[in-house]
Each structure stands twice: as structure tokens, then as C-alpha cells.
């Protein structure tokens, strides 16, 4: 077997800079704060950081609307602060990848300001501009070029009087799509990527790559509703027929606006740029389509296994098994081989603790979730705060929402769909991504120790910091989720089979538990995850033979003992990892 690249053996940890650590006590996270917490991350046992956007931005989309690709948002610090952070991370052998947003810029980016100023300026063709299909005049209101929707805030077209034209935006109107068919755009963006590569960053997470090109024929969608109506329909859909229709409508509404020809060529170009730099710089795409890995070597190194985390209900052994079967088979087919990448949380999705927990067993399920992502084949990505069991915080005061997508939805519920105020606030609070972006809870003091009591954090802190959901208390408690994360992360590092081993599922009919082996030449490890609230006694001697099992990890606190494969005892929800001797 080829020696692994660093990004194959690493565990990544997503830092959401606005919420991670506030070094200057202004209620907003920053580089000083992140740098001060690097020893914390080292202690936890992660190997690489994915940093969500840290660039100057008017923050209509929390930094995913960038107004300068080579700068640092002043609220996060200066370029020197970034360099210090990068140097200190590297000193600790922690790699850093940045978020590269290719599809769109902010509408306050100088490129867009110039582009929208006239039809014949040097950047006139840097964005996607179109005339109205109907001539203006006779007092007539211009009509957008077609019925495409933005996935965030209504029409995908916004009119600009200076040009008497519309520009296209897949996301908010403050996020105009770049025209990637223009070679100057490509060059400018590749230059930005090089700027950070030269500073020494280890790669990029590529935002929303599927949306870079649109159907040039501008084929309209055929869904009989607009975005607000579709969102509302999705939330109220109940019957199997409605649920099926909901999926079809989401697909049909946007399928002309993503996944269009040209993307693979573009990914190849970017790959070639990264390969000019030493140190195996890497690319991970915000997409689950394995096709973006090209032949396994010439496009992206990784794409996220989102289908694993997108379960309609809580995580089950059957779901994981099916997912692995399909996913690993597809990766294997890549001519140069592919590498998996698993995750259960990020800044766009409800927190795993909330999503997979039920009222009585959330803590146990959080332990199973981590064991799943750290023992299945592939590179794991964790999301900041999951190591202490942070949960969603439903913000029902609309004035406290910072996710503009939710503010827009709240307004359309009230104004267009005539939903009453209390229900609209609740729905917006549930759909917003603010709920999973609240500040990190460092200790049991006001504002969870994120910032001082008299400072208002940019988003409210979840009050459960006072009920043990904070780093300081958990650090002192050997049985805490934090210490469980630490133990399992360190075990993974010292267990080659868990990083590189071939995956073989066992007992594939079992409903209550997931069992599999991971095997490298020097070691075979058996993983059993009991997803049920029952104690189990298993006989696995037929599938793994009679050799004794040496327990190397047990969430039930079993000490390092030998076990008979014909008589394996598991406690309710136990995570049980053993080496075959």
C-alpha cells in the first residue's frame, strides 16, 4: 500500500471564526482568539483546521460574500495576525485549509462595483449580465430573464439601472455570480488562491462548486411555486406523496443552475495549480459527487460524504452500512483510487447532538456518532463545539437573527404567505443556520466565557453552558464528552488499522449494532457500535475466528482485557473497539 498523504490520515476540525474564540472581547471571534486556542486543539487531538471564510465581507452571508480575496476581515485581525496564526498552527504540526468561494463575490467587491457601473467598463463581462427578454418602455416594468430562483432569497435576477440589465445570483442578491467563462475572472481567482498558497496554507475547502456554471440556454424551471412557497410547502409536507413531491420540486427548481458542463476542466486547472506547490496541498469540495475527484488524482482530493449525515431520522446501523457499501464501491472504481471523507456537522446544518439525539439518549448517541466518523474508512471532519456536545439554539427573537437567509424567510412568511407573527418567528428560528453557529462555550461564566458579561456576543450564547456544556467543566471531568473525544482521537492516531485499514462489514443483518473490521498488514481491529438501549451478547467467532480479542477502547469503561469472540458483551450504546490477536 502507498504511504498515506497527510490529508488521508488527518482529522480535520472546522473552525467558524466568528464564533470560535474572541481574543479582544468585542463579541466576535478573531485570529488572536484562535491562536490562543491552538494548544486546546492540540490537546483535543486534531491534525488540521478548516477555517471558514476570514476575508473582508459585508457579512450578508456570514463571510461567504467576500469583498477582498487577499485580505483579512478587520474584526478578525490583520494579515499579520493571520500569518502568526498559521505559523503557530504549523509549529504544532496542525495544518490549515481555507475556504475558497469561487462561484460568487460580494456585491461590494470592487470587481462588481466596476462591473455594474456600465456596459462597457473593463470588468463589464466579469459577472453574469442579461437583458430583459421584454423591451422596457411604455412604462413597463422590466421582467427578469427567466423564472430561476436564488436558493436563498427569491428571484435569481436583480436589476441594475446603470446597465439596464439583470445580474444573476444563485445565492443572495448580495452575492453576484462570477462569469467563469471569462478567462480574466479565472486568472484573478487563481491569483487569489496562489496568494494564500504562497503564504503556506495547506489547501482549500471549495464552496458550492456545483453552482459555478448555469445552463446557457436559460431553460426555465417548471415548479408551480416560488422559493418562499416551496420552503413553506417543504416544512408543512406530511403525506408520503407530499414528501416525494417536495424532493422533486427542490431538484426541478434548481437543476438548470448547477452541475453544468465545464466544472471538471475547472477543477483540473485548480488541482494543477496546487500541485505546483510542495507539501501535498489539498482540495476538498463542498459536494458529495465523487465525479469531482476525476480519475482519483487529477481533480479534488476529497468530497464530503453528505449522504451519511443526511438521514431522515437518527443514525442507524442499516443506514451507515448501506451508505458505506455504495460510497466505497464508487470510490474503488476511480482509476487511481479514491479516499472517503466523512462528517456529521458543519456551519450549515443542525448540530449532530440535536439531530441524532433523542430526549433520553443524546449523550450516548453523540459518542456513537463520533465513533462512527472516527472508525469508518476516510478522513473525518469535525465541527467546532461538537466535542462538548453543543446543541442547536432556537432563536425566536427575529431581531437577533444574523443569517440573512432566515431574515428574508421570516419576512416572506409574514408579508407574502400571511403566516402569523409567532409562527413565522418559530419557523425562521428553526430553519436558520444561526442555531448551529452560536459562540463556543469555554466555561461556566457569563456568555460561556466567549466574551465578558457586559459585551454582547454577535449571536446569543446557548445558556446550556451553565449546565456543563462548556470546555472548562468537561476538561475536569474524566467521564465528559470532551475527554471521550480526546481518548478516541488519540486512539485513532496510535491505531494504524483505524486510519488505513480495509473495511469489512460483519453481521450485515443486525438491526441494533454495527460491526466491522479494519485491517492493515500489521493489525486487525474489530469495531462494534451498539446503537440500541439493550445489552447485547454476541458470538462473532464465525466471522472473525476464535483468536482472542484485546479490547483497546470501550465507552463502558472496560479495561484492557482479553475477550472471547464467541461471547462478546456490550452495554447499551457501547462503543467497543478491539484488536484481533
As measured in angstroms, the least distance from the Cβ of 576 to ligand NOJ is 35
112 binds ligand NOJ (CB under 6 A): no
As measured in angstroms, the least distance from the Cβ of 411 to ligand NOJ is 18
Q: Which of 69, 111, 157, 171 binds ligand NOJ (CB under 6 A)?
A: 171
Closest CA to 270 of 305, 291, 296, 301: 301
Point out which residues pair with 176 in neighbouring strands: none
Find out whether 203 and 7 touch, Cβ atoms under 8 Å: yes
Closest-by-Cβ residue to ligand NOJ is 64
Task: Report the residue number, 109 or 361, with the smaller CB distance to ligand NOJ.
Answer: 109
Window 77-106: residues binding ligand NOJ (CB under 6 A): 101
Q: Are strands 513-520 and 165-168 parallel, antiparallel or unpaired?
A: unpaired
64 binds ligand NOJ (CB under 6 A): yes
Alpha-carbon distance 16 to 24, whole Å? Answer: 17
Sign of the Cα torsion 132, 135, 141, 143 reads negative
As measured in angstroms, the least distance from the Cβ of 207 to ligand NOJ is 5
Alpha-carbon distance 409 to 389, whole Å? Answer: 28
Task: Report the residue number, 55 or 442, with the smaller CB distance to ligand NOJ.
Answer: 55
Task: Report the residue number, 142 or 228, with the smaller CB distance to ligand NOJ.
Answer: 228
Rounded to 5 degrees, φ, ψ at 540 are -105, 15
Task: Report the residue number, 63 or 457, with the smaller CB distance to ligand NOJ.
Answer: 63
Task: Report the residue number, 260 or 543, with the smaller CB distance to ligand NOJ.
Answer: 260
As measured in angstroms, the least distance from the Cβ of 152 to ligand NOJ is 7
As measured in angstroms, the least distance from the Cβ of 205 to ligand NOJ is 9
The number of C-alpha atoms within 13 Å of 359 and in the hemisphere containing its C-beta is 0
Task: Report the residue number, 437 or 492, with the smaller CB distance to ligand NOJ.
Answer: 437
Residue window 411-450: x/- pattern of binding to ligand NOJ, with contact defined by CB under 6 A:
----------------------------------------
Point out which residues pair with 154 in neighbouring strands: 150
Window 279-298: residues binding ligand NOJ (CB under 6 A): 286
Q: Please write down the HEC assignment for all residues of 169-203.
A: CCCCCCCCEECCCCHHHHHHHHHHHHHHHHHCCCE
| Residue-wise DSSP of 11-63 | -EEEE-HHHH--SSSSSS--HHHHHHTHHHHHHHT--EEEEPP-S----TTTT
As measured in angstroms, the least distance from the Cβ of 348 to ligand NOJ is 5
Find out whether 255 and 247 touch, Cβ atoms under 8 Å: no
Task: Report the residue number, 33 or 285, with the smaller CB distance to ligand NOJ.
Answer: 285
Residue window 364-393: x/- pattern of binding to ligand NOJ, with contact defined by CB under 6 A:
------------------------------
For 71, the enclosing helix (H) or strand (E) is: none
| Strands of the sheet with 502-506, listed across from one edge | 502-506, 513-520, 523-530, 575-580, 549-554, 562-563
Task: Report the residue number, 433 or 492, with the smaller CB distance to ligand NOJ.
Answer: 433
As measured in angstroms, the least distance from the Cβ of 286 to ligand NOJ is 6
Rounded to 5 degrees, φ, ψ at 560 are -65, 85
List the helix and strand counts (H, then E) for the chain. Answer: 20, 21
Alpha-carbon distance 510 to 524, whole Å? Answer: 21
Size of the site for ligand NOJ (CB under 6 A): 9
Residue window 342-361: x/- pattern of binding to ligand NOJ, with contact defined by CB under 6 A:
-----xx-------------
Task: Report the residue number, 68 or 88, with the smaller CB distance to ligand NOJ.
Answer: 68
As measured in angstroms, the least distance from the Cβ of 171 to ligand NOJ is 5
Task: Kindly list the catalytic residues.
Answer: 207, 286
Alpha-carbon distance 502 to 232, whole Å? Answer: 44
DSSP symbol at 137:
B
Window 472-491: residues binding ligand NOJ (CB under 6 A): none
208 binds ligand NOJ (CB under 6 A): yes
Alpha-carbon distance 237 to 285, whole Å? Answer: 31
Helix (H, G, I), strand (E, B) or coil at 514: strand
As measured in angstroms, the least distance from the Cβ of 106 to ligand NOJ is 10
Give residues in contact with ligand NOJ (CB under 6 A): 61, 64, 101, 171, 207-208, 286, 347-348
Amino acid at each position: 500500500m502507498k504511504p498515506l498523504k497527510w490529508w488521508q490520515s488527518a482529522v480535520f476540525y472546522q473552525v467558524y471564526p466568528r464564533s470560535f474564540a474572541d481574543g479582544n472581547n468585542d463579541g466576535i471571534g478573531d485570529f488572536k482568539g484562535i491562536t490562543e486556542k491552538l494548544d486546546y486543539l492540540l490537546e483535543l487531538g486534531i491534525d488540521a483546521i478548516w477555517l471558514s471564510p476570514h476575508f473582508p465581507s459585508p457579512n450578508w452571508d456570514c463571510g461567504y460574500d467576500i469583498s477582498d480575496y487577499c485580505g483579512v476581515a478587520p474584526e478578525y485581525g490583520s494579515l499579520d495576525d493571520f500569518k502568526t496564526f498559521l505559523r503557530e498552527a504549523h509549529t504544532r504540526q496542525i495544518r490549515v485549509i481555507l475556504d475558497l468561494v469561487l462561484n460568487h463575490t460580494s456585491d461590494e467587491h470592487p470587481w462588481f462595483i466596476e462591473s455594474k457601473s456600465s456596459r462597457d467598463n473593463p470588468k463589464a463581462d466579469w459577472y453574469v449580465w442579461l437583458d430583459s427578454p421584454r423591451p422596457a418602455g411604455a412604462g413597463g416594468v422590466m421582467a427578469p430573464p427567466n423564472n430561476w430562483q436564488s436558493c436563498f432569497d427569491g428571484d435569481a435576477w436583480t436589476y441594475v439601472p446603470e446597465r439596464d440589465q439583470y445580474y444573476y445570483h444563485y445565492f443572495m442578491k448580495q452575492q453576484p455570480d462570477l462569469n467563469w467563462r471569462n478567462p480574466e475572472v479565472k486568472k484573478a481567482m487563481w491569483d487569489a488562491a496562489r496568494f494564500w498558497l504562497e503564504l503556506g496554507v495547506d489547501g482549500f475547502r471549495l464552496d458550492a462548486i456545483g453552482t459555478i456554471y448555469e445552463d446557457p440556454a436559460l431553460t426555465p424551471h417548471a415548479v408551480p411555486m416560488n422559493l418562499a412557497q416551496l420552503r413553506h410547502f417543504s416544512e408543512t409536507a406530511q403525506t408520503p406523496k407530499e414528501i416525494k413531491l417536495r424532493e422533486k420540486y427542490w431538484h426541478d427548481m434548481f437543476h438548470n443552475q448547477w452541475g453544468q458542463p465545464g466544472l471538471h476542466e475547472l477543477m483540473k486547472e485548480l488541482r494543477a495549480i496546487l500541485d505546483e506547490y510542495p507539501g501535498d496541498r489539498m482540495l476538498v469540495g463542498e459536494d458529495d459527487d465523487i465525479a469531482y475527484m476525476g480519475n482519483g488524482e487529477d481533480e479534488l482530493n476529497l468530497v464530503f460524504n453528505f449522504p451519511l449525515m443526511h438521514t431522515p431520522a437518527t443514525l442507524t446501523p442499516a443506514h451507515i452500512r448501506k451508505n458505506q457499501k455504495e460510497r466505497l464501491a464508487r470510490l474503488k472504481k476511480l482509476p487511481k483510487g479514491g479516499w472517503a471523507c466523512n462528517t456529521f456537522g458543519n456551519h450549515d446544518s443542525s448540530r449532530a447532538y440535536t439531530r441524532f439525539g433523542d430526549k433520553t439518549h443524546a449523550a450516548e448517541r453523540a459518542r456513537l456518532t463520533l465513533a462512527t466518523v472516527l472508525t469508518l474508512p476516510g478522513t473525518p471532519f469535525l465541527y467546532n463545539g461538537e466535542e462538548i456536545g453543543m446543541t442547536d439554539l432556537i432563536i425566536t427573537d427575529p431581531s437577533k437573527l444574523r443569517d440573512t437567509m432566515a431574515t428574508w424567510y421570516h419576512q416572506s412568511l409574514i408579508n407574502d404567505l400571511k403566516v402569523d407573527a409567532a409562527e413565522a418567528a418559530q419557523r425562521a428560528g428553526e430553519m436558520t443556520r444561526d442555531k448551529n453557529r452560536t459562540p463556543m462555550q469555554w466555561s461556566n461564566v457569563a456568555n460561556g466565557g466567549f466574551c465578558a458579561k457586559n459585551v454582547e456576543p454577535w449571536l446569543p450564547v446557548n445558556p446550556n453552558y451553565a449546565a456543563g456544556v462548556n470546555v472548562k467543566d468537561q476538561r475536569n471531568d474524566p467521564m465528559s464528552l470532551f475527554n471521550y473525544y480526546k481518548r478516541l482521537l488519540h486512539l485513532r492516531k496510535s491505531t494504524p488499522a483505524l486510519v488505513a485499514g480495509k473495511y469489512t462489514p460483519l453481521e450485515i443483518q443486525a438491526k441494533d449494532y454495527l460491526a466491522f473490521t479494519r485491517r492493515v498488514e500489521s493489525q486487525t481491529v474489530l469495531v462494534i457500535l451498539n446503537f440500541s438501549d439493550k445489552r447485547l451478547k454476541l458470538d462473532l467467532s464465525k466471522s472473525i475466528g476464535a483468536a482472542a480479542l484485546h479490547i483497546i477502547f470501550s465507552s463502558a469503561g472496560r479495561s484492557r482485557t482479553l475477550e472471547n469472540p464467541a461471547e462478546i458483551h456490550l452495554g447499551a450504546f457501547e462503543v467497543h473497539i478491539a484488536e484481533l490477536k
